[in-house]
Structure 1
Amino acid sequence: MKGPRMGQGHKNLSCSESVVVEMEEGFGGSNVTLPAPQKQKRKVNPSVYLPPALKPSGRKRSKVFCTYLPNSTFSQRGPSTSRILEDVVEISVENEIIQNLTDPVRIRFHHHDISVEESVSCVSWDTRKDANEIIWRKDGCRTVKISSTETECCCHHLTYFAILVQIEQRSTVRHLQALTFITAVCCAVSLFSCSILLLSLCRQRNGKDKSLSVHYGLVLALFMLNLFFILTGVLASAGSEGVCRATGALLHYALLCTTCWMAIEVFHAFWLVYMVFSTSPNPKIFYFVGFGIPALIVSILGFSLDIYGQRKIVPNEDINNPYQMCWLKYSDAGLLTHYIANVAPLIGLMCCGFIMLCLVVRKVKDRDEWRKNRTAFLSIWGLCCLFGITWSLIFLDFGPLSDTILFLFCIINALQGFFLMLRYYVLERIRKRTSELEQSSTGSTRQHMLQTQEKS
């Protein structure tokens, strides 16, 4: 057994009770419930499964000793954030050293309720050195959490086994309840706004303006993102594991679609400003990038890795009452996927969006319509939403204004659908007024020319 030490100290064993199991030829495994010593009766004692691979192949008969040591005290020198539970189980085979079992020994421990800020791990006592020195190691055993009061250890060697409880330094979220409520309300508003905007864009998509197709894709992606975000908390608490896994995958798909369509908006704006005389790419290419590539990524991740499912977010005010949602699991694979597939593309999008915003403003700032403050503000704010620049607020979450920035980040980004609808209708109203003024000016010019001709 090689691995990091889990702690050192000296043992102080209380009374114990052993069970002897004889393994003869054809041994097919055995389930053993370990009895507690007299005057130390427990409600539920540990149980042990002895696999057939435990019997030495060169011996016709051998004995297995299973010893239960309840209420054992181990003075462990180490971090105060970890401790060994009282129950210890020793398993050994007579005159044999058992290692590298093909089928593991399974020891099931029953213990007190483990809170959400604590984690349990199966550890074994390395007795190869000094028998009086306690060295607990995690390697060689796999931890299976049955429930908050029951843990199973699957180990490929024999020695003393116990449960190590560690206090996890989990990241908590400030004002989680208020942020959850505000985000849900804002997402509902955006969902309704996206529905109205989708209907309006559908009526005008048959025109020659290809920008409407790009806007339609972004609004549809935001509609899915808001819908699945609202459903994720409900389905995590009421739905089954399979439903939660599917919802987490769909939420991830909607987020990737939104990121892709914001990137398409950046590219399309660059094309309109700097490639004026070139033909715009076929909208089908945009739809493949915006919806096809995210579907491929989520499908590969979903089938190859177990990363989608229930995720608990611990509030800072009450760590025993976490918020549950269907999303990427809190695991190494889930965190790696989050940083590679979510965070990295968003950072690239925000950088490109900010650069494109500066280029667009520089290009059109001298136009007459941009000299009006209201039009300029609405255009810049709308471009910020289109290019995903509002996500950059999360990087300002520090210092005395941290709480304010956190609330602004949730409100502004949850209301992106509403802001896009507002921008669309305000700009449509400005276009109609401009068109009416042009028609009125053209009509006055024609009337003046007719009057001049009559006088002549």
Structure 2
Amino acid sequence: MEPRLTDNLKVAVILIVLLSTCSSENDLDMKFCGTWRHGKGNLNLSGNVSPGCDGISISANKTTLSINGKITAQCKWSDVISLKKFGFDSAEESFFCLYWEPLLDQLRLQFREKHFTLCWPASLQGRCCTDLSHGANTAEARYGIINGTVKTDQVTSKTLMAYTFNGTYINCSELCDQASQGSSHVKMIKDVMERSLVEAIVEHPCARSSEVEMKKDFRGYNLTSPITKVVSAESPITVQIPVALKQAAKHTNKVVCTFFKNNSLFQEGDKVGRILDDVVGITVENEVITNLPEPIRIGFHHDVIPKTHSRKCVSWDTRTDPMQVKWLVNGCETRQRGANHTECLCNHLTYFSVLVQLEPRPVCHLLALTTITSLGCAVSVISCVALIVFLCRKRRSKEQSIPIHLGLTVSLAFLNLLFFFTGVLANVGGERVCAWVGAGLHYTLLSSFTWMGIEIFHTFWLVYVVFNPSPKPYVWNLVGFALPAVPIVILAAVGDIYGVREVLPCDDLSSPYLMCGMKGNYSALLAHYFTNITMLAILVSSGFVMLFLVYREIRNREEWRQNQVAFLSIWGLSCLFGTTWGLTFLNFGPLSDLVNFLSCILNSFQGFFLMLRFYMLDWMRKKAGGSALGSTSTGSTRQHMLQDKS
């Protein structure tokens, strides 16, 4: 046997031995899954969970899934919840899983794709109920639980009315103390891993609490978390409790800080970003503390976060939605103390962490970009109005392309007008006004993209379809103005898509720029990719193809040899075809700032460039002694396509 293989086998054997000595004999957590076979009516979730260790029962009938028992250390949950409000359809079967983590006193239910937290994670207690063993099976029934499984082991494939589990008390403190005191074992594992060129990371398994007593002479208190990575030398979390908290707490003088590490529950609240592994819960028993005049300071030390990802201090108030996690920025101020240190200043008590957002990314030079965009939109609106007047005067020529140019110009005019006022409307009108303005912005954007696509298709029609007449103007209007309204109506009916949008500047994440548009949540981001990005990809790719085809048709013409005409024609075609919007796909890497500036200039001034193109071509034709907008015949249109058809 080769020496390398022998060494690897030795490492594996040592790891098995070491890990087995560190593990507990108890099966600590529980995962029970099954399929609830029910009727098609309204469904309910019912439960009554209280402290103790008598066991737990999961039962189901035609309308209700019930969870009852005594297994918690301190959690009490009793409620009947209608599942209809969560949008579940009337299927006859529903998959679910019940998770019990006694070291955190945490009970969770997954029902289809939704997660419900019945008992929120808490600090370690002296005793906890675990090592749940399956009890006797109940009777079979038409409605109930089918294919019940404990972890990965199936109990039975029959439909049973209920499953019962019996619990056993254990000393949770001793288990966690053994894990934390087992640093020598951890170090041995690490040393073996390093010798075998494998990295080991061992996390502390339990949440820990620190209790601070605020006496009469209380002048504030600084504390640090007892939970750190055993392998790495990570700095702990720091919490500064202000004097104002004692003044706000009326019925008790004790504040409890609980530190959580790598709890997957907290990751469920935001699909756009990711919550740090560290979460801090700060509570005063039986009191709600808000609007502190002096904030609580929480320092999070974490891995390096690149500038391309924004980070914000977030908190979650269990009173707002007691069943599900929802992280909010309300009441917290974010201060970056370097790439691996974030300080949160919060004026209330609840769970706190840092949300690292993958989308949208913070924007550098936001003030300059906003100024350029506002100026471009203002100039484009004026230019589009002038171009509309110009094209309306030329409509008597009955040129086929004029209605298409008019449609594009009208869409761009409204798009630039709404975008120019979006910042003002967001700050003055708020969420309700922004819902309408955001939908209007999205509509005019899709309408502009559609008209650019029509310009591409019409140019192809004129160049390559010799005998077929072009579609009537009302067909173009129906496609350009009516078709983009369909996705807008659907998204507005879905809800929570349009409203106030925050654009974060690189230099100050605590002062976002507000505008109306599509929100930054997961649903809006998904809608953005399915509508805007998909349509833009089709538009830009077809636009570049059409530019190449036009170039191949006209490169040998006599007028093409005039640099002035060649540049103006290709530039005008680029504006009509929307190829400048392709810069959106280049917004990454070291050239991101340059691309942002180019995109703002070219796209916000697009209306001005279009007006310039039409007026310059008209001036060149008059100077050359030609007609103002070309001939009305289809043959002449193709002949002069370079100047006025595309």
Q: TM-score, normalised by structure 2?
A: 0.51
Q: Does 1:140 align with 2:323?
A: yes
Match of 1:218 in 2: 408
How far 1:177 moved relative to its partner? 0.8
CA distance in 2, matches of 1:334, 1:294: 17
Give the match's secondary structure for 1:201: helix
* 2:283 paired residue number: 87
Per-residue CA deviations over 1:378-437 (Å, capped at 9, x if unaligned) read 110111111111011233334544322221111011111011111101111222233359
Within 5 A, what are the aligned runs for 1:373-388? 373-388=563-578
Task: Show the 5 A alignment for 1:411-430.
Answer: 411-430=601-620
Counterpart of 1:43 (choices 239, 248, 253) is 248
Q: Which amino acid aligns with 1:165?
A: S
**Counterpart residue type for residue 254 of structure 1:** T
Higher helix share: 1
Of 105, 116, 119, the residue aligned with 2:314 is 119
Partner of 2:424: 234
SS in 2 for 1:141: coil
CA–CA separation in structure 2 for the residues paired with 1:45 and 1:269 = 75
Aligned partner letter, 2:324: C
Q: What is the alpha-carbon distance in structure 1 between the residues aligned to residue 536 and residue 552 of structure 2?
A: 24
Q: Which has the higher contact order (CA 8 A, sep 6+)?
A: 1
Q: Deviations over 1:214-262 (max 9, x none)?
A: 0000011110110000010010011132211111111111101111001
Deviation at 1:71, TM superposition (A): 2.1
CA change 1:353–1:41 in 2 (3 A) is same
Residue 74 (str. 1) matches residue 258 (str. 2): yes
Moved more, 280-289 or 112-121: 112-121
Contact 2:313 2:329 in 1 (8 A): no
- What per-residue deviation string (whole Å, max 9, x for no partner) do you get for residues 119-157 of structure 1? 223579xxxxxxxxxxxxx993354869527xxxxxxxx
Asked if the contact 1:85–1:165 (Cα under 8 Å) also holds between the matched residues in 2, the reply is no
Q: Residues 372 and 317 of structure 1: is their aligned pair in 2 closer, same or farther, counting only changes over 3 Å?
A: same
Whether the aligned pair in 2 keeps the contact of 1:81 and 1:166 (CA below 8 Å) is no
- Indicate if the aligned counterparts of 1:85 and 1:163 stay in contact, CA closer than 8 A: yes
Residue type of the partner of 1:140?
M
Q: Residues 241, 270 of structure 1: CA spacing in aligned structure 2 closer, same or farther, 3 A cutoff?
A: same
Kept in 1: contact 2:363–2:505 (CA 8 A): yes
Letter in 2 for 1:368: E
* 8 A contact 1:69–1:89 mirrored in 2: no
CA contact (8 A) 1:13 1:69 kept: no
Does 2:351 correspond to 1:163? yes
**How far 1:185 sits from its partner (Å)?**
0.6
One-letter amino acid of the counterpart of residue 377, structure 1:
F
Shift of 1:341: 0.8
The equivalent of 2:56 in structure 1 is: none
Do residues 12 (structure 1) and 198 (structure 2) align? no
| 1:339 aligned partner | 529
Amino acid at match of 1:83: V
Q: CA deviation at 1:85?
A: 3.5
**More divergent stretch after superposition (251-260 vs 78-87):** 78-87
| CA deviations over 1:169-205 (Å, ceiling 9, x no partner) | 3621111111001111111111111110011111112
Tell me by how many angstroms 1:10 deviates: 2.3
C-alpha displacement of 1:83: 3.1
Residues of 1 paired with 2:288 and 2:256: CA distance?
Answer: 17
Matched, 1:291 2:481: yes
Equivalent residue letter for 2:523 = A
| CA spacing shift, 1:123–1:147, aligned 2, 3 Å | closer
Give the 3-state SS of the residue equivalent to 2:282 in structure 1.
Answer: coil
Task: Give 3-state SS (helix, strand or coil) of 1:172's partner.
Answer: coil
SS of structure 2 residue aligned to 1:412: helix
Distance 2:428 2:602 in 1: 29
Structure-to-structure mapping, 1:297-446, within 5 angstroms: 297-435=487-625
**CA–CA distance in 2 between the matches of 1:77 and 1:435?**
79
Secondary structure in 2 matching 1:168: strand
CA contact (8 A) 2:540 2:578 kept: yes
Contact map agreement 1:391 1:413 (CA 8 A) in 2:
yes
Q: Cα deviations across residues 255-282 of structure 1 (Å, max 9, x unaligned)? A: 0111100110110010011013210001
| 2:357 partner amino acid | Q
> Does the 8 Å contact 2:501/2:516 carry over to 1?
yes
1:409–1:44 CA distance, 2 compared to 1 (3 A): farther
TM-score scaled by length of structure 1: 0.70
Mapped to 2, the partners of 1:202 and 1:348 lie a distance apart of 30
Secondary structure, aligned partner of 2:397 = coil
Alignment check: 8 A CA contact 2:255 2:285 kept: no
1:197–1:219 contact (8 Å) kept in structure 2: yes
SS where residue 320 of structure 1 aligns?
A: coil
Q: Identify the residue that residue 130 of structure 1 maps to in structure 2.
A: none
What secondary structure, in the 3-state scheme, does the structure 2 residue paired with 1:177 have?
A: helix
Match of 2:371 in 1: 181
Cα displacement (A) at 1:45: 6.8
Structure 1, unmatched stretches of 5+, are 17-38, 47-67, 91-106, 125-137, 150-160, 438-456
The residue type paired with residue 257 of structure 2 is T
Residue type matched to 1:168 in 2? V
2:398 matched residue in structure 1: 208
Instruction: Give the corresponding residue for 1:27.
Output: none
Cα distance in 1 between the residues matched to 2:424 and 2:297: 25
Counterpart code for 2:208: H
Q: 1:424 to 1:231 in 2, by over 3 A?
A: same
* Amino acid corresponding to residue 550 of structure 2 in structure 1: V
C-alpha distance in structure 1 between counterparts of 2:250 and 2:369, whole Å: 44
CA deviation after TM superposition for structure 1 residue 43, in Å: 2.2
Number of residue pairs matched by the alignment: 355
- Sequence identity, in percent? 40
Rounded to whole Å, the distance in 1 between the matches of 2:446 and 2:610 is: 19
What residue is the counterpart of 2:301 in the other structure?
none
| Partner amino acid, structure 2, of 1:72 | V
- Range moving further from structure 2, 73-82 or 371-380: 73-82
Q: Output the CA distance in 2 between the equivalents of 1:114 and 1:307.
A: 34
Unpaired stretches in structure 2, ≥5 consecutive residues: 1-106, 122-204, 215-243, 263-274, 299-310, 333-348, 628-646
